[in-house]
Amino acid sequence: MRVAPKDTKEPKDAPKDAAADAGPAEPAPEKAAKKEKAGGAKAKDAKEPKEGGKSKAKAGPPAKAPKFVSTNPNFRYIVRVANSDLDGTRPTALALTTVPGVGLRIAETACHLAHVDPGERIGELPEPTVEGIESTLSSLSAKVPGWMVNHRTEPLLGSTIHYVGVDLDTRRRDDVNQMRMIRSYRGVRHERGQKVRGQRTRSNGRTGMAAGVLKKTAKEAAAAAAKEESGGAGKPAAAAAAPAKPAAGAAKKE
């Protein structure tokens, strides 16, 4: 057998080695550039949390809105309507809702009837205009439909009235006292402090001792009572058995 000379493989391997040496030499700068970019991105990411931490440390509670200061020399910061003090810096419609018995719908209606802009600050209004709004509230039952009034059927006066301010609290108290006097269902419920309008009372509206709170104490008391009963029942049996022993001994002696 003939053996191939070793020199024949050298010319074939030589170009492969040269190509291998030439190949990886070209993307080397690209890899370096990618590394630089990656290093720069990491550096930015590392700096960002520090900046964020500084911003969080600096960030405090939100600044309060500056208090309204009017340039009008006749501006009133407190307006008196129906025995109630209203904030003069609020819009007229929203300020009127502070009066008992006046909701947003009634307030807007009263403003329209008095020819007042509901969005204008009530402190900017002159005193005659505020008095006109108050008179409109007092005579509201004659100017609005019956479903907007809080007392549609007044048994004493026989008319429809819309109570506002202190009069509303007084009239409500009188209604409750009248129901108690005639011993109606609602009056009895008011007297007992229970719910009046048919709400459930199993889980809500508990006025007496809360259920379940003394459960552990009740169990301990029941266990102690059971022990006392068992101990009291065992003592007479032992006392009855005690005198039998000497009697048996005496019989033996005889």
Q: Which residue has 């403003």 as its token pair?
A: 111
- Looking at residue 180, its pLDDT comes to 95
State the average pLDDT for the chain: 76
For the CA atoms of 145, 146, 147, 152, the dihedral, rounded to the nearest 10 degrees, stands at 160
CB 141 within 8 A of CB 157: no
Amino acid at 237: A
| Distance, CA of 129 to CA of 110 (rounded, Å) | 12
pTM: 0.53
CATH 1.10.8.50 fits 78-143, yes or no: yes
Classify burial at 84, counting beta carbons within 10 Å of its beta carbon; exposed 0-12, middle 13-18, buried 19 or more. middle
Smallest Cα–Cα separation from 188: which of 178, 199, 179? 179
- Going from N- to C-terminal start, the domains of the chain cover 78-143
- Looking at residue 159, its pLDDT comes to 84
Amino acid at 253: K
User: Which residues are 86's β-sheet partners?
Assistant: 79
Lowest-confidence region among 23-27, 200-204, 232-236: 23-27
| Distance, CA of 142 to CA of 152 (rounded, Å) | 11
CA 192-194-196 angle, 5° bins: 115
| Distance, CA of 63 to CA of 188 (rounded, Å) | 52
For residue 230, give both structure tokens: 């068992």
Number of H helices, E strands in the chain: 9, 2
User: How large is the average pLDDT for residues 149-169?
Assistant: 86
Which of the four pLDDT bands, split at 50, 70 and 90, describes residue 2?
low
User: What's CA 146's distance to the chain center, in Å?
Assistant: 35
